Chains A and B, each alone.
Chain A
C-alpha cells in the first residue's frame, strides 16, 4: 500500500526517529511503513492519522 508518511513527516521537519517516538514504535517500523515494506495494523494506522490530524485515506492510498 502506498502512503504519504514521508511527505507529511517532512512537512513537519520530523526525522523518522521523531515520528517513531511520537507513535511509540521503533524507527525500523516507521522506515518499513514509509517504504511500503509493511502495512500497519488498523489501530496503528488510526494512531498515525490522529497524529497528523488527517483521515486514514488521506495518508494511506490504494495501489
Chain B
C-alpha cells in the first residue's frame, strides 16, 4: 500500500523526534546521576526528553489534522481513543492498587508508552469492527 503525503510527513517527523528523544535520554543519563538533587539546571536537563515526548504528541496531532481522507482519519482517531481509554484505565487502576496494596509503584513515565501500545490495541479493534486497522 502506498503512503499518502500526510503519512510520509508523519513518519519523517516521528523519525526526527525519535532521534531527538534518544539523544536527550543519553544526554540526561550522562550528565545526571540517578537521584540527582532537583536544581534548576538538573530539572532543565531532565525535562529535555519530556520535550521530545511533546514532539511525539505534536507529530500525532499534525498527522490527524493533515489526513484529508475522512475514513482513514476516523480509523486513526478511533485508535487514539482506544489508546487513551487504555492508558487512563491502566494508570488509574494501578494507582488504586498502589493505595490499597504493596504492588510496586508504576512510574508515571510509563503512561505515554502505554498509550502508544494502546494504538496497537486500537488498530486491532478497528480490524475487528471495520476490517481495516488504519494506516500508521
Contact call B130/A29, Cβ cutoff below 8 A: no
Quote the shortest CB–CB distance from A1 to chain B (angstroms).
14
A27 — nearest CB in chain B belongs to which residue? B1
- Residues on A with C-beta less than 8 A from B135 are 26, 28
Q: Which secondary structure dominates where chain B touches chain A?
A: loop
Kindly state the interface size class of chain B when it binds its partner. Answer: 10 to 19
What distance in Å separates the Cβ of B2 from its nearest Cβ neighbour in chain A? 10
B-chain residues with CB within 8 Å of residue A44 when the two chains form the complex? 70
Segment 1-22 of A: residues with Cβ below 8 Å from B: none
Total residues of chain A contacting the partner, CB 8 A: 12
Q: Tell me the A residues contacting B by CB distance below 8 Å.
A: 24-26, 28-29, 32-33, 37-38, 40-41, 44
